[in-house]
Amino acid sequence: MSVPKQAALSDRPRYPNIATDMGEDPARFLSSSEHYLPVARIRGIQEQGLLSAYRAVEIREFGGRDIVLEAIDERECVLGTEGSQ
């Protein structure tokens, strides 16, 4: 698969094991300087395991930004509510 040159040269953190296990690397979205991108992605996540991976990468690499952690918390609540119905 071809990768745009800018993406290939990016110095963002990478989590290939998570990408293999979960189908995506959370750091790809979390490394954005625009908060809307990771928040939008988090709102679309359907699996608790992937949310946990996002939380771990966010805390480890980006210090646990409030807006991102709040989005993860909110999504966990939504998934919990949907699962109990």
Q: Kindly report, residue by residue over 39-75, the tens digit of the pLDDT.
A: 999 999 999 999 999 999 999 999 999 999 999 999 9
Is 1 inside any structural domain?
no
pLDDT value, residue 1: 46
Alpha-carbon distances, residue 39 vs 9, 28, 81 (angstroms): 24, 13, 19
Q: Which domain does 19 fall in, by range?
A: 11-83
What rounded mean pLDDT belongs to the chain?
89
pLDDT value, residue 82: 78
Is 28 inside any structural domain?
yes
**Helix locations, the chain, DSSP H:** 5-8, 16-22, 26-30, 36-43, 48-62, 66-83
CA separation for the pair 82, 76 (Å, rounded): 10
CA separation for the pair 70, 85 (Å, rounded): 23
Is 52 inside any structural domain?
yes
Q: How many separate domains does the chain show? A: 1
Is 5 inside any structural domain?
no
Q: How many CB atoms lie within 10 A of CB 38?
A: 24
**Which residue, 19, 30, 36, is CA-closest to 63?**
30
Is 2 inside any structural domain?
no
Is 4 inside any structural domain?
no
Is 25 inside any structural domain?
yes
Is 57 inside any structural domain?
yes
Task: Dump pLDDT digits (tens) for 1-37.
Answer: 444 444 455 689 999 999 999 999 999 999 998 889 9
Burial of 76 (0-12, 13-18, 19+ CB in 10 A): middle
